Structure 1
Amino acid sequence: MQTSFIKLTLLATYLFFSTQGVAQNIAIKTRSEHVLIHKDSSFTKTVTILLKENKETITYPIFYDTELERITDIKVYVKKGKRFKLVKNTIINEEDVELDYIASKKIKSITLPYQSETKIVYSIKCKELMYFSDLHFFSYNEIDSLKYQISVPNTFRFIHNTIHKDSLKHMTIDSIKSDNHTKWNIEVVPVKVKPDPLLFFRVYKNIREPLMRTLIIPKTYEGNERKYLNDWYLQKAETKKGLNYAAIRKIDELTKGISDPKKIMTILYKYVHNNFKYVAIEIGMGAFIPTHANEVFTNKQGDCKDLSNFLSEALNYKGIKSYIALAATFDHISDCDFPSLSSANHVICLAYIDGKPILLDPTDPIHLSETPVQSIQQRSILIINPDGGEFYKVPGFSPKKNVISYEIDLEANSNTMVMDGEFKVNYNGISGNFLKYGFMYSSDREANKLAKKHYESVFGNQSISDLKINHQSRVIESEGKISANGKIFKDGDKKFFFIDFLPKLFETEDRETLLEGTHIGSPFSKKVSSTIKMSEPFQEFNPIEHSFSFEGASLIVKISNPSEFTIECTYEFVFDYIFVEKENLEIANKLLTSFKKIINDPIILQKKS
């Protein structure tokens, strides 16, 4: 997987630079696509690109999927006076995309010499209508105007849904109906995005850009678009089901003497988790249609759709109703709440025990059955079933199920002013998943090093030692010694005491100000209790309390002195969001700012006379 992404990056680097080694700056006046839907459920795109004057030789790439698409009629024109003249003997190179898990992608590279203006025209023929799943309204090139025309026979219907529309400066859409066709005309000023190699393969990862999700359905499915996608998928996946003798024998061996459906489910889930290798990246129909269950069992490997399909077959064989479902993870451009292949980037397994749906993600190595899948919590999935499919909202964890608790005991040294002591931390639910993922493929020594670095960051770069970690399936327990320096300053009979060593609010983020789109991971509740024993008695001070409460988030900080030697600092922080988004961005940053001010203000301790 890592090798594939390195190759993707190298490939993109090659395409973003010209043969002279300087970055390509392809400025485009207009890009237009005329999409003609055929009655046999295939379609053809005629693409016309009008480029502005280029002052150097550039290479224009066309990526396509040889499994589904065919590129024809590539023509290049240059502007002579007021007209465009066809260029003969255009240099067009074709290369395979040599990546481990992308076997069907190729690139046609068109070399364009210096010209005043250039026009490129080519056609893409695709045999699978479901592959026409989106129109992107963003580009890594500078484009003045992006136009789409979709010609749909009257025996079909065109449905669409645009996400992140707010970022568009201009968008128009209209339709013209004739006796045989309806023509949809769409024009936008696209959003320019940073170059990303994944965009070449229609993999929209960690971006929030405008995209129109599309679906062409037969007229007979009008008003029931979900059923159309569901039935199409069922038909495609039907040939990938069934278990051979070897698979059945292994399943029977694993579940011998067990009749409890929940125990059987857990055994088979763990078996796939622990014995099957996850491989990706898949493109085109290969991103959604699974490999046959028997092939997955034989090779003991596959991606999300392959492992989920095999697990579903194994559960159904044991009498546990199970389906696969299309899903969109937190880093995908959209939620899976619209029936289009572009809505999903993931496939999971769904089992029913006593009528209750239980999500199973065999590609998530630390997911536990009967808990929400972290990557898709609070997002919709499309369950593929014989009843026409079902959209299902995945529940999320509540902050109460993801409690992080800190206990810190420190003692100040009167000579050095250093505070030494111990701390204990518990992560419950999935609050410690970010550590579990790091521990997974690490030795004990590496895990300890990773955790030490983490806690030094959490405690504001204080010294951590003698760290011990106990990580189980549902809990992580850590304990160690901490030494805090530079937090006590003397000034005559007064001491200035700083508490900026208290654990930061968001452990997965280093930024002091969060950005829109930041993925927190899961809602959580954090409780911190710190007791500091001073070396000399001090006068009693009035307890200090700060309280902030917003919709879905709250922070309560208390500072008190239960004795003439002791200071107690506690806080409780609740954040009931998975993402930092427009509606909670201000809330999150207000809490961070308020907390920073509290811990940066000194507590003034007056020496007791």
Structure 2
Amino acid sequence: MYKRTLCCILAICGYFSLFAQTDDDNVIITNRIETYVFEESKGTAVVKEKSETYYECTKRGTSIPIMEMYDSQTTLDKVSNKRNATPKYNLYTTDDMFYSDAKVCHFDLSFDRKGSTGEVKFEKTYKDPRYFTSIYLSEPQFVKEKTVTITIPDWMKVELVDRNFGKNVAKEVKVDEKNKTHVYIYKITDEKATKVENNMPGKSHIFPHIMVLSKSATIKGEKITYFETLNDQYAWYNDIVKDVKNDEVIIKAKADEITKSCTTDDEKVKTLFAWVQDNIRYIAFEDGIAAFKPDDAQEVLRKKYGDCKGMSNLLKALLKAKGFDARLAWLGTNHIAYDYSTPSLSADNHMICALFFDGKTYYLDPTVKYMPLGEYPQTIQGRQTLVQDKDKSKYLLNRIPEFTPVLNTDSLYCEYTIDGDVMKGKAGQYYMGESKQVLLSLMDATPKDRLSGALKRFLENGNSQDEASDIQTIGATSQSKQVEMLYNIDNRSGLQQLGAEYYIDLDAGKDFMTNNIDTAKRVNDLEFSYRYHIVKNVVLHIPEGYKVSHIPEKLNIDKDGYTFRISYRQEGNKLFYKKEITIRDIYLRKSNFAEWNSDIAKLRKAYMEQISLTK
């Protein structure tokens, strides 16, 4: 696996990069016809999908990739195109997916000149309506016209929920008395191409789509219940996890070994949590029903890796072996727009371990290596979670707490004295919450023989004129509340001497300075990785015989979603610089991009101001 060095990544330290796709309507969809029909097959319900897509080249000859996904719960029944392109069939893989049962049929559709056309047809079958969860209306190309028709027989109970529809979507419902069906027809016109951009919210937050909630089917007098209520969804999940066979003898022996030096229950809990975080490698795994069933705890121990379900089941088993009340819990991360008010497999994508301990409920996510007990990653904060009740036949519907940005504080304190052409400083940098998680994860991803050099360049903010030395790292563990980095810094990049005057810049990092948004290219809202809280306190000892001749003006920008503050003050022979950047709302809406860019410009201008010292 390719590993990037810390210095390259920490130059941006988790802040967003904004590279949108360029507009290119060289190939458009003139018409797309999709039909979905619920049918009876061998005593159960299936969904038959057919699609016909008609393309036109509008500018110059080119080719475009065509892809159709399927997996163990779907079959790809027919593929055709009028360009004689040969379909290829492969497993679908991504960098963040260890294994998936997803497969892809793909080929290139070529257009030799402007005005040439192409046609592609697919037919698929969904074996289980539970897995038929959504129909997205936008496409990778601009769509002139699109029609989606969903035919639901009276024996099938389905709810269709419209999400993110614009004014270009018209809906019609017809009742076919003869065939005893309801036919839902959606007509879409002039739909912009789907743009996938960095730091965008999950697609269910943005793109127009239809949620398909299959409730039940009655076939030959027999009722098949899918997800009529959340009770049904939980019962389906619970039936799956009941088949997990944890070997209590093996797990008890391992739990005893891990906690042998622990003297309190609190210490045992934290030690078991940290052991799974530190010793089990997280991998993503999707394979039909196995995408919902955890691996047996002893199997995860043996393999030393697991997905979210396997890791959570192992952690639950270890905690239970030591007498703690630990249970499995399902949830959807903030990538998903829904919660459990709409029972559906699309409502969740993650499993964690819930711990009832000392009168409190804790949510332990072992896939996040450096998040201690009682803290939660941004991806699950505020999310509903479906927790096993004590007897497991029932559930608790809880909500994971949300935290203020202060929990994610990235704080610097540095004191400088001037010695000739260099500012000599003693500094301490502190990272908490998500900023700690980001830092330590990137340190993990850096080869050990390059780590010390990477940390040095990181603390120098990439300035070749500066020199960090005597670096100490404290608290770089899973369960620590913060990481401290103590070091000395020789700063030449922030000091300029012209005759008897010094011009000084006390902010070497200049956080968010370049984070303006290209509004001509950016299409979607922006999602920050987490709620940032950056605090920089720098003290300059004014050299004897010098006085401050210029102090930059303070900056105070306070908006609903964020705050930028910079201030200076002098006390005797000391000059104090303080900067505080707070991102309270992780979503920056497109309607606020212009205001954001204006505020970033003010922040950038404030960064460019210098302190002047004269004799």
Aligned 8 A contact 1:359 1:373 in 2: no
Q: 1:411 aligns with which of 412, 417, 423?
A: 417
* 1:178 Cα deviation after fit: 4.5
Instruction: Say if 1:226 and 1:587 are closer, same or farther in 2 by CA, change over 3 A.
Output: farther
- What is the aligned partner in structure 1 of residue 602 from structure 2? 594
- What is the aligned partner in structure 1 of residue 237 from structure 2? 233
Q: 2:467 aligns with which of 439, 449, 464?
A: 464
* 1:593 Cα deviation after fit: 3.3
Describe the superposition over 1:278-318 as per-residue Cα deviations: whole angstroms up to 9, x where unpaired.
22242544433333444334433221122213323444455
SS at match of 2:371: coil
Aligned 8 A contact 1:261 1:353 in 2: no
Instruction: Say if 1:574 and 1:94 are closer, same or farther in 2 by CA, change over 3 A.
Output: closer
Aligned 8 A contact 1:452 1:467 in 2: no
Which structure has more relative contact order (CA 8 Å, sep 6+)? It is 2
- What is the aligned partner in structure 1 of residue 145 from structure 2? 145
Q: Which amino acid aligns with 1:501?
A: D
* 1:263 Cα deviation after fit: 4.3
Q: Please state if 1:243 is matched with 2:247.
A: yes
* 1:483 Cα deviation after fit: 1.3
Residues in 1 aligned to 2:613 and 2:385: alpha-carbon distance in whole angstroms: 57
Q: Please state if 1:560 is matched with 2:569.
A: yes
Q: How many residues align?
A: 559
Residues in 1 aligned to 2:517 and 2:78: alpha-carbon distance in whole angstroms: 52
Aligned 8 A contact 2:282 2:367 in 1: yes
- What is the aligned partner in structure 2 of residue 70 from structure 1? 75
Q: Please state if 1:530 is matched with 2:539.
A: yes
- What is the aligned partner in structure 2 of residue 218 from structure 1? 216
Farther off after superposition, 125-134 or 372-381: 372-381
Instruction: Say if 1:453 and 1:127 are closer, same or farther in 2 by CA, change over 3 A.
Output: same
Instruction: Say if 1:241 and 1:321 are closer, same or farther in 2 by CA, change over 3 A.
Output: farther
Farther off after superposition, 518-527 or 353-362: 518-527
Matches of residues 448-597 of structure 1 in structure 2 within 5 Å? 448-457=452-461, 463-472=466-475, 473-478=480-485, 479-485=487-493, 487-488=495-496, 490=498, 495=501, 497-499=503-505, 501-506=507-512, 511-512=515-516, 516-524=525-533, 526-534=535-543, 536-538=545-547, 545-551=554-560, 553-563=562-572, 565-581=573-589, 589=597, 591-597=599-605
Residues in 1 aligned to 2:323 and 2:153: alpha-carbon distance in whole angstroms: 44
Residues in 2 aligned to 1:584 and 1:355: alpha-carbon distance in whole angstroms: 43
Aligned 8 A contact 1:423 1:482 in 2: no
Aligned 8 A contact 2:75 2:125 in 1: yes
Q: 1:301 aligns with which of 294, 298, 305?
A: 305
Identity %: 20
- What is the aligned partner in structure 2 of residue 428 from structure 1? 432
Describe the superposition over 1:2-23 as per-residue Cα deviations: whole angstroms up to 9, x where unpaired.
69xxxxxxxxxxxxxxxxxxx9
* 1:76 Cα deviation after fit: 5.0
Describe the superposition over 1:186-209 as per-residue Cα deviations: whole angstroms up to 9, x where unpaired.
23354423579xxxxxx9689954
Aligned 8 A contact 2:238 2:393 in 1: no
Matches of residues 70-469 of structure 1 in structure 2 within 5 Å? 70-75=75-80, 93-97=87-91, 101-102=98-99, 104-109=101-106, 117-161=117-161, 163-165=163-165, 168=166, 170-178=168-176, 180-189=180-189, 190-194=191-195, 208-218=206-216, 225-243=229-247, 245-254=249-258, 262-282=266-286, 284-316=288-320, 318-330=322-334, 332=335, 334=337, 336=339, 338-383=342-387, 386=392, 389-413=395-419, 416=421, 418-442=422-446, 446-457=450-461, 463-469=466-472
Aligned 8 A contact 1:148 1:187 in 2: yes
Structure 1 spans left out of the alignment, 5+ residues: 4-22, 79-89, 197-202
Aligned 8 A contact 2:141 2:192 in 1: no
Residues in 1 aligned to 2:565 and 2:106: alpha-carbon distance in whole angstroms: 60
Q: Which amino acid aligns with 1:517?
A: L
* 1:358 Cα deviation after fit: 0.9
Q: Which amino acid aligns with 2:168?
A: H
Instruction: Say if 1:560 and 1:120 are closer, same or farther in 2 by CA, change over 3 A.
Output: closer
Residues in 1 aligned to 2:506 and 2:290: alpha-carbon distance in whole angstroms: 51
Aligned 8 A contact 1:403 1:527 in 2: no
Farther off after superposition, 360-369 or 180-189: 180-189
- What is the aligned partner in structure 1 of residue 12 from structure 2? none
Residues in 2 aligned to 1:541 and 1:510: alpha-carbon distance in whole angstroms: 26
Q: Which amino acid aligns with 1:173?
A: K
TM-score by structure 1 length?
A: 0.77
Instruction: Say if 1:77 and 1:430 are closer, same or farther in 2 by CA, change over 3 A.
Output: closer
- What is the aligned partner in structure 1 of residue 8 from structure 2? none
Residues in 2 aligned to 1:186 and 1:73: alpha-carbon distance in whole angstroms: 24
* 1:172 Cα deviation after fit: 2.4
Residues in 1 aligned to 2:110 and 2:434: alpha-carbon distance in whole angstroms: 55
* 1:131 Cα deviation after fit: 0.9
Describe the superposition over 1:473-495 as per-residue Cα deviations: whole angstroms up to 9, x where unpaired.
2222222213134644548x8x4
* 1:437 Cα deviation after fit: 1.0
Residues in 2 aligned to 1:29 and 1:390: alpha-carbon distance in whole angstroms: 49
SS at match of 1:368: coil
Instruction: Say if 1:314 and 1:587 are closer, same or farther in 2 by CA, change over 3 A.
Output: farther
Instruction: Say if 1:576 and 1:161 are closer, same or farther in 2 by CA, change over 3 A.
Output: same
Aligned 8 A contact 1:51 1:118 in 2: yes
* 1:69 Cα deviation after fit: 1.7
Q: Which amino acid aligns with 1:558?
A: S
Instruction: Say if 1:71 and 1:348 are closer, same or farther in 2 by CA, change over 3 A.
Output: same
SS at match of 1:42: strand
Aligned 8 A contact 2:32 2:146 in 1: yes
Describe the superposition over 1:216-247 as per-residue Cα deviations: whole angstroms up to 9, x where unpaired.
11289899633332222222332234435433
Instruction: Say if 1:245 and 1:224 are closer, same or farther in 2 by CA, change over 3 A.
Output: same
Residues in 2 aligned to 1:393 and 1:584: alpha-carbon distance in whole angstroms: 29
Instruction: Say if 1:578 and 1:241 are closer, same or farther in 2 by CA, change over 3 A.
Output: farther
RMSD: 4.1
- What is the aligned partner in structure 1 of residue 19 from structure 2? none
Q: Which amino acid aligns with 2:90?
A: D
Structure 2 spans left out of the alignment, 5+ residues: 4-23, 218-222
Aligned 8 A contact 2:414 2:427 in 1: yes
SS at match of 1:594: helix
